Amino acid sequence: MQGSANLNVMIKAARMAGRSLVKDFREVENLQVGTKGPGDFVTKADLRAEEIIHAELTAARPSYGWLGEETGEVAGKDPTRRWIVDPLDGTTNFLHGLPHWAVSIALEHKGEIVAGVVFDAAKDEMFYAEKGAGAWLNNDQRIRVSGRTRMIESVFATGIPWGSMRTLPAMMQDLARLMPQCAGVRRWGSAALDLAYVAAGRYDGYWEREAKTHDIAAGLVIVREAGGFVEPLYEGRDIFEDQMLIAGNGGVFTKFAQTIRSR
């Protein structure tokens, strides 16, 4: 697909960060520099990748604002546009040598996510979308959400935030209700890839009760452009404010959302 200039800048930055991460992934032993809480690590790899993305994006678009997981928020001269970046989504996997992590870059315009890139550098899979232009994998594969309609044949993904007692009881209830109705639930540890996989039809749905803006911004537009639904977990609320969302294909979404939402 012929992307816009902004999308090309995002893809280039994701590739550059991906190269740095792949290099660091070979020598993970000495990378950890801190923790933000239980199961929430920071490594030199996260910091290096964010620096690379920041340098690339701000050089290309100096007026845009910035929201990065490791460096926080910086207002831009242009208050209507900002980059939303998670340089390494799936740090715990990364530190354990598990090849399931991604770079996530989104562009927000007037409060709406208009483009997103999720790059799985270990598997060389680049998922991307721009509002109105469909969702894509690598150079030329158009992706669509799955066509499954039966819950019992569907596989769902979620994230269970370690160390958080705030949402754990609700999460346990979700699992107890959903598991008997479906073919499987996966918890692979990268929210950005969970959403990208829904877009690619690999998962039939995904929900999470503690997902930060940088985890989900890019994936959200990719799912929508792949023909899927992304909604606040509780109707009428705001995904980013609540940090809770539910996504899925059209065939199972109603039943899936009902299962998770009803108490």
Locate tokens 């669509």: which residue? 144
Q: Does 120 bind Ca ion (CB under 5 A)?
A: no
Asked if residue 88 belongs to a known ligand binding site, the reply is yes
List the one residue out of 188, 203, 202, 224 whose CA is nearest residue 116: 224
Q: How many residues bind ligand IPD (CB under 6 A)?
A: 14
Amino acid at 234: Y
In the stretch 149-178, what mask flags binding to ligand IPD with x, by CB under 6 A? Answer: ----------x-x-----------------
Residue 50 CB, shortest distance to ligand IPD, in Å, is 11
Dihedral (Cα; 119, 121, 48, 213), 10-degree rounding: 30
Residue 19 or 36 with smaller CB distance to ligand IPD: 36
Task: Measure the CA–CA gap between 207 and 41, rounded to whole angstroms.
Answer: 22
Q: Does 90 bind ligand IPD (CB under 6 A)?
A: yes
3-state secondary structure at position 261: helix
Residue 79 CB, shortest distance to ligand IPD, in Å, is 26
Asked if residue 24 belongs to a known ligand binding site, the reply is no
Residue 70 or 231 with smaller CB distance to ligand IPD: 70
Q: Which residues of 93-104 are buried (b: 16+ CB within 10 A; e: fewer)?
A: bbbeeeebbbbb
Residue 210 CB, shortest distance to ligand IPD, in Å, is 5
Stretch 200-219 residues interacting with ligand IPD (CB under 6 A): 210-211, 215
Name the segment binding ligand IPD (CB under 6 A); options: 23-31, 125-133, 183-191, 245-253.
183-191
Question: Cβ distance 251 to 149 under 8 Å?
Answer: yes
- The alpha carbon of 192 is separated from its chain's Cα centroid by a whole number of angstroms, namely 2
**Phi, psi (rounded to 5 degrees) for 149:** -120, -15
Pairing of strands 64-68, 135-137: unpaired
Q: Among 24, 50, 69, 204, which residue interacts with Ca ion (rule: CB under 5 A)? A: 69
List the one residue out of 194, 233, 201 whose CA is nearest residue 215: 194
Residue 92 CB, shortest distance to ligand IPD, in Å, is 6
Residue 69 CB, shortest distance to Ca ion, in Å, is 5
In the stretch 201-240, what mask flags binding to Ca ion with x, by CB under 5 A? Answer: --------------x-------------------------
Question: Cβ distance 81 to 107 under 8 Å?
Answer: yes
Asked if residue 69 belongs to a known ligand binding site, the reply is yes
Instruction: Determine which helix (DSSP H) or strand (DSSP E) holds 32, and give its type and residue range.
Output: strand 32-37
Partner touching 154 among Ca ion, ligand IPD, none, CB below 5 to 8 Å by kind:
none
Please state the residue numbers annotated as binding site: 69, 86, 88-89, 215
Please state the residue numbers annotated as binding site for Mg(2+): 69, 86, 88-89, 215
